[in-house]
Structure 1
């Protein structure tokens, strides 16, 4: 990583929509799964880079609830990649001091993958250097729907009164209840949309839409985006004095 001056007022929590793996591979005359494999290697680099950038929390969008619409061969390849990646990276992430969590509706995933996810969460549960959250079979509307159902049960069973329900209570039922809201959301590969990712949590996040495909998202690119964040004036609806 080359020298990049980092603003000390950078983001505490960065969320990334990792887009462009398939296009990156197609441009090179390779199958889409080749791009996903290259993208998986960038996840390791991003986690390694976080401490030097002052980023404590990193959340990545690995597979959405809408991604089931892809071809069966691509889905099968992705699921196999997730399993291999967890098995290969688990001990390394633990040595780095990374705490790993998964968010999303995991019941639809195959049992072996679910067990590996549980294993990695348990292995790293006491780590605190970097908090890596992987959104797997995740969609923000699905998350809010599931949270609302759980909240409705609490009200129906009289553990909560309707007048007690506010934004903080609802947020406590979300998949990300244990995390701070993201300060910065990055989407790679030139698309300027948020694709049903952390809709509730990103209400006051800054967004960066960059042209770089995810397999080309180097530590230098990461540092440059984080450094730009420090120059933004974040008022959360207030007027600066």
Structure 2
């Protein structure tokens, strides 16, 4: 049975769910946050140590300004209301990506990271303003500046995910089968599950079903 340490998730379909059910993309993002809380709780039950959530990509800046504003307000409110709860649950919050947001949001993100830095039950990595291509370019530049040998070990030292194990599983909801510039280096040997359900409809049973499938997979890593 395969050990499961890290699950990465592309939470796709919030906007489409909102249009379909509430005639509002923003309502879909709000509903998606409820699913996030469900998956966090189930991850603790399953003794998973890391989950990485694709929250806002470098490409998402192309979206309408009002939608972006709503997304960040949603995140601000989540941090204000839930950071004490996360801390009491021994959950660590870690941000991967460039923190180039409003002063208020940047402060909340730094505060959340600092407050939970010693927690060990579960580490939640929020991929915010994250793009894998940008991450790799950043790492390559660091290698060059420090005049280090170009190899996998040295490159990994400068990824945003340094000291985080590579994902065992990548889940993408929303019935879309692409990686969308997410953890391209790190998921080289991840088991990938594409889920038809939109993210707000994804639930604990769906999550457990994927986990059980993963545990039965024979993982060869290039061997027989």
One fold, TM greater than 0.5?
yes
After superposing the two structures, state which structure 1 stretch, 209-218 or 57-66, moved more: 209-218
2:56 aligned with 1:71, yes or no? no
Instruction: Evaluate the alpha carbon distance shift between residue 187 and residue 112 of structure 1 in structure 2; reply closer, same or farther with a 3 A threshold.
Output: same
TM-score, reference length from structure 1: 0.90
Q: CA deviation at 1:10?
A: 4.5
Specify which of 185, 203, 206 is matched with residue 200 of structure 1: 185
What does residue 81 of structure 1 align with?
74
CA positional deviation for 1:173: 0.2
Q: 1:212: how far off?
A: 1.1
TM-score by length of 2: 0.97
1:189 aligns with 2:174: yes
Deviation at 1:55, TM superposition (A): 1.4
What is the CA deviation profile of residues 204-224 of structure 1, one whole-angstrom value per residue up to 9, with x for unaligned ones? 000000111111121111111
- Which structure 1 segments of 5+ residues have no match? 1-7
Question: Is contact 1:181–1:201 with CA below 8 Å preserved after alignment?
Answer: yes
Q: State the SS of the aligned residue for 2:31.
A: helix
Does the CA-based 8 Å contact 1:103-1:138 persist in structure 2?
Answer: yes
User: Does structure 1 conserve the Cα–Cα contact (< 8 Å) formed by 2:11 and 2:172?
Assistant: yes
SS at match of 1:28: helix
Change (3 A) 1:10 1:188: farther
1:105-144 alignment runs, 5 A limit: 105-107=98-100, 109-144=101-136
Corresponding position of 1:219: 204
Q: Tell me which of 41, 48, 51 is aligned to 2:41.
A: 48
Q: Indicate whether 1:15 and 2:13 are aligned.
A: no
Write the distance in 1 (CA, Å) between the matches of 2:48 and 2:202.
Answer: 16
Larger radius of gyration: 1
